[in-house]
Amino acid sequence: MSPTLRRCWLALVALHLVMLVYVLPPTVVFGDSPFGGPDYQTHYQHTTTLLNVHAEFGHAWAYDPFLLAGHPSGLIFDVDNKLHFAFTSGLWRLGVPLPVAFNLFTLLAAALAPVLLWLTARLLRQPPAARAVVFGLGVLAWNFDPTVRFCYGGGMISFATASCLCVVVVAAMHRLMDEQRRGFGVALLLLLPLALRTHVWSFAILVLPLTGLYLRSWSKVQVRTHLFVWGAALLGLLANLDWLVPALAHRALIVPSAGLGQATPDYLLWDFVELLVDPKRTGFVIQRTVLRALVVAAACGTLWAWRREPDGRSFAGGLTLAWLLGLTYFGALVPVIQATEPYRFAVPLTLWASVLAGPWLVASAGQLRALSRGLLLLLAVLLLPRLYQQIMPVVPELSPVAPLTGQAARNLPSARLGGVVDDFKAVVTWLKGQPDRGRVLVQYASLGEYLRWATDRQILGGFHDRRQIFQEADIFYFPIEDPRFTTGLADYLERYNVSHVVMTYPYLPEIERRSDLLAAGGIVGGIHRVYTVKRSGSYFAAGSGRVEAALNRITVHDASPAPGTQSLTLRFHHMQELQCRAAPGAAGACRVEKAELAEDAAGFVRVVGEPTLPREFTVELVY
């Protein structure tokens, strides 16, 4: 290694470490709470819930009556949290505090991201100087690309991590098909299942590049190479059967969603000129995409050079780059791909382009040296404002303008992660002083997830688009034009036994002006408006009794059937696996059936006596 290259490596590693400490402050990583980003709260809620599920039931999912009037936690919606959960639970069982174990996954992912890009460049046989450039681009892409930043800032850390792993998988597959060496086959056997376990949409990233590489060489490779490929595919399937089998068995519960990340081809232009057109499509971040445009253009330069040589790497590089560009900007036009929120594939697109960009940028550096110093100085002056614009959203301390504060700042996922904010904790304190007589309706999704794991209250809220029929219990899942916000609000509050409401900016007058239904309780934590529902409710839509809820069970004491019947209806969501068991010594027997609801596809739980309704019984989930 030359002295110049050695100095470059020292500078790049130093930059990487500085950004790690800045973005992930040690006081937060090793603090007493998980990261506070919206998706981090969702994943931490899943983690705390499923740790209890595994300990008590030994299964990968359970019926959780504390969220959305009852829903299956660990089924379908959290398929992007499996490796993160395994990592966290493993460290926790070794004695690491749970929030720290949870945060360390993000720290490890951020630390390894540029290393994995460097490894990919090495697998693609790039020269040392190009590999150093790729490492540097990895540091810049991880910290300054808006979509990558949106992922790890908001909590989609598993997808960002999987994207890094996927670029290595493509490179390993290329080397295996090209050289048929055992080491690359073993690498594929290990990395493909790991990527698929990290995030389910690794399949979408890899399916065409890996298939194309295999079909291009399948008639020329040895039997051992075929076995490596099919073995990796089989291991990838086996590594995910624990969630895939129950998810497929409950596919009727899935509600397809195409509301987020649906960037269309015109966003190629909007991204190039750095316009934020629709935050629901590209994320609530400042669109600073000069780096993305640069690495994609440089990647095309490398591919052109490889193709002219000719070089076999051009096929793997070009196919993967074209596939990721297509997914990102054309995927919303394909109904099946819409469900993946396809703009998210800008993350692996940027990372893969960063890998391919290295050789062309190194070659171009020699041409730049041929320019006069005056011209280079002029170019530097012209580019300096654009460079500042890329850095400032990530390091707001460099801005002469006062940064956003309060909820406005919270809606923009920050490059610098923090813990749970104090106003969330203030809501918990307020709830402790309120009688527990019904559910708490929470407008702000992140707060809803936090209250689910931080309290023992039943919550209506959290992530509003959960891709399951149970989300219909959350009024904020529906557009503001829905009758639930107007003529149907009173029925909604009664239907789900809402006792308290917590509203957060942007406030909704459609709900808050209803003084006939709500009594204002003031402002909590300086930002959350809290209300008490005036009309007292019940967890019984028919009949009466006392309810005691826990994971996988709802116990009813002093049950009394509806007049003229031997049945009662609980305001909890129905699932086919729910069965009724009379308490020991209680007279009668019981069974569970679905009480249909016009406003909720899941329906409620009706318990029918056989022949008479027991006074004490438990509705429990039977796997």
Q: How far is CA 69 from the centre of its chain?
A: 22
In a domain, residue 59? The reply is: no
pTM (two decimals): 0.93
In a domain, residue 411? The reply is: no
**Which residue, among 429, 34, 523, 470, has the nearest Cα to 250 in the 3D structure?**
470
Domain count, the chain: 2
Separation between Cα atoms, residue 415 and residue 398, nearest integer Å: 13
Residue 382 pLDDT? 79
Give the three-class secondary structure for 81. Answer: coil
Residue 507 pLDDT? 86
Residue 403 pLDDT? 57
Three-point CA angle 435, 437, 438, nearest 5°: 125
Q: What is the 3-state secondary structure (H, E, C) of 245-295?
A: HHHHHCHHHECCCCCCCCCCCCHHHHHHCCCCCCHHHHCCCCCCCHHHHHH
**Which residue, among 453, 457, 461, 458, has the nearest Cα to 504 in the 3D structure?**
461
Residue 410 pLDDT? 56
Separation between Cα atoms, residue 93 and residue 103, nearest integer Å: 15
Low-confidence ranges of the chain (pLDDT < 70): 368-372, 401-414
In a domain, residue 495? The reply is: no
What is the number of alpha carbons within 13 Å of residue 6 lying toward its C-beta? 3
Contact 242, 50 (CB under 8 A): no
In a domain, residue 403? The reply is: no
In a domain, residue 480? The reply is: no
Contact 361, 179 (CB under 8 A): no
Q: How many CB atoms lie within 10 A of CB 535?
A: 12
Residue 1 pLDDT? 79
**Gyration radius of the chain over CA positions:** 27
Q: Please provide the size of the chain in residues.
A: 623
Q: Which of 370, 391, 412 is the last residue of a domain?
A: 391
Give the three-class secondary structure for 497. Answer: coil
Q: What share of the chain is helix, strand, coil (3-state, %, to 5)?
A: 55, 15, 30
> Alpha carbon of 504 to those of 510, 523, 551: distances in Å?
13, 10, 29
Residue appearing with tokens 């407008």? 443
In a domain, residue 250? The reply is: no
Residue 487 pLDDT? 94
Q: Is the dihedral of CA 132, 141, 417, 88 positive or negative?
A: negative
Separation between Cα atoms, residue 289 and residue 274, nearest integer Å: 6
**Residues facing residue 529 across a β-bridge:** 503, 523
Residue 256 pLDDT? 84
Residue 189 pLDDT? 97
Separation between Cα atoms, residue 431 and residue 273, nearest integer Å: 47
In a domain, residue 148? The reply is: yes
Q: Which of 391, 407, 424 is the last residue of a domain?
A: 391
**Which residue, among 32, 65, 42, 11, has the nearest Cα to 556 in the 3D structure?**
65
Q: How far is CA 85 from the centre of its chain?
A: 13
Q: How many CB atoms lie within 10 A of CB 271?
A: 24
Give 396-449 as a DSSP string.
GGG-SSPPP-HHHHHTS--SS-----HHHHHHHHHHHTS--SSEEEESSHHHHH
Which positions ≥6 away from 493 have C-beta within 8 Å? 441, 517, 533, 535, 537
Which positions ≥6 away from 317 have C-beta within 8 Å? 124, 299, 302, 303, 306, 356
Q: Which of 324, 356, 391 is the last residue of a domain?
A: 391
Separation between Cα atoms, residue 87 and residue 97, nearest integer Å: 13
Which structural domain, as residue segments, surrounds residue 548?
Answer: 540-621
Query: Side chain identity at 452, as an amino acid letter?
Result: R
In a domain, residue 182? The reply is: yes
pLDDT in tens, 126-173: 999 999 999 999 999 999 999 999 999 899 999 999 999 999 999 999
pLDDT in tens, 215-230: 999 999 999 999 999 9
